[in-house]
Amino acid sequence: MTSGERTDFWSEHVTSCQGLMDYRYPPTDDFHAGTIRQRTDTYQLVTFWSDTIRYARTAGQVRRDPDEDYRFLLPVAGELVLRQEDQEVRLTPKAGCLVTFAAPFELLQDASMRALIMSIPAREVNGRLNRSSPLVAGLDLASGLGRVVGDMLTGLHEERDTLTGGRFDAVSDRLVELLCMLAAGDNRPTAPGHLTEVEAVVRQYIREHAADPDMTGATIAQALGWSLRQVQLALHHAGTTPRDLIREERLRLVRDRLRAPVYRHLTITELAYASGFSSASALSTAFRRRFGVCPREMRHAGPRPVGNTRRS
């Protein structure tokens, strides 16, 4: 394969993974690149490396190929330079960035660069951050919560051969939750720290008790020793409500159980009751609205993420 054929292949391959973009390659007699891809119906994680290249997504490409989802970029080696909305962020290892494909951008990388890029549905970010606009910010992943997020992302890549689709999604859900907490802390300085702590504890409680059919905002507040107003205010700052968060965690619980062989003996109705829903019809309606398929269709879907290695 000639260098020109390799660059053509790389352009087509990246477009198929990420969306419509332009590519600018330096004059060279040789070009090498590769990817390792993990994917489910909800998330995608790509590890990529290549020689020097410039990527650009233009306003026309945004219109022709709409994509509201976010990408979380984390270099493992080398440097990335991202420009979007009159902002520039230089990313090196231990510094990540959350960026949308719904607005034009320019991304430049050097020849020694190796990075992770995770595709995250917009609904997973906009609700938690109460926004629907580009977010370009350098996130410190060297310590604290940032280090936890970075370790989870690299762990997803390293354990790709051992994770089922359900476990890949489950870890990705938690990673995105923590990532949004990290981004909110960096971009909402006026939010009281106490409310952020309340939000984290409430989310943890709801996750652990999602199957309880009697759980409400009032019962959560009582169990945690806070007022209902405190719980509501903390979740309001995160762009959600107790009711919405309870439904979201129950839907995630059902999704994970649909993919787990240990629950395959349960009917959809039994699974609905066992996961806190009042009926199978209530579950099916909410599930289709959230994931785009009915519970039965997801149960019969493939259980593992797609993992591919591509080189050019």
219-241 pLDDT per residue, tens = 999 888 888 888 998 888 878 89
Burial 91-110 (b: 16+ CB within 10 A, else e): bebbbbbbbbbbebbbbbbe
C-alpha dihedral over 39, 186, 231, 241, to 10 degrees?
-50
129 & 214 share domain: no
pLDDT band at 192; cut points 50, 70, 90: very low
Residue 91 lies in a domain: yes
> How many domains, in total, are found in the chain?
2
pLDDT at 190: 40
Domain enclosing residue 56, as ranges: 3-142
127 & 215 share domain: no
Q: How far apart (Å, rounded) are the C-alpha atoms in residues 267 and 296?
A: 9
Which letter does DSSP use for residue 181 in this model? H
pLDDT at 187: 45
Of the candidates 244, 262, 250, the residue with the CA atom closest to the CA atom of residue 287 = 250
Residue 112 lies in a domain: yes
Q: Residue 301: how many CB atoms within 10 A of its CB?
A: 12
128 & 230 share domain: no
Asked whether the beta carbons of 172 and 43 are under 8 A apart, the reply is yes
Q: How far apart (Å, rounded) are the C-alpha atoms in residues 42 and 291?
A: 8
Length of the chain measured in residues: 312
Q: pTM higher than 0.75, yes or no?
A: no
pLDDT at 185: 65
pLDDT band at 309; cut points 50, 70, 90: low
pLDDT band at 191; cut points 50, 70, 90: very low
Residue 218 lies in a domain: yes
133 & 197 share domain: no
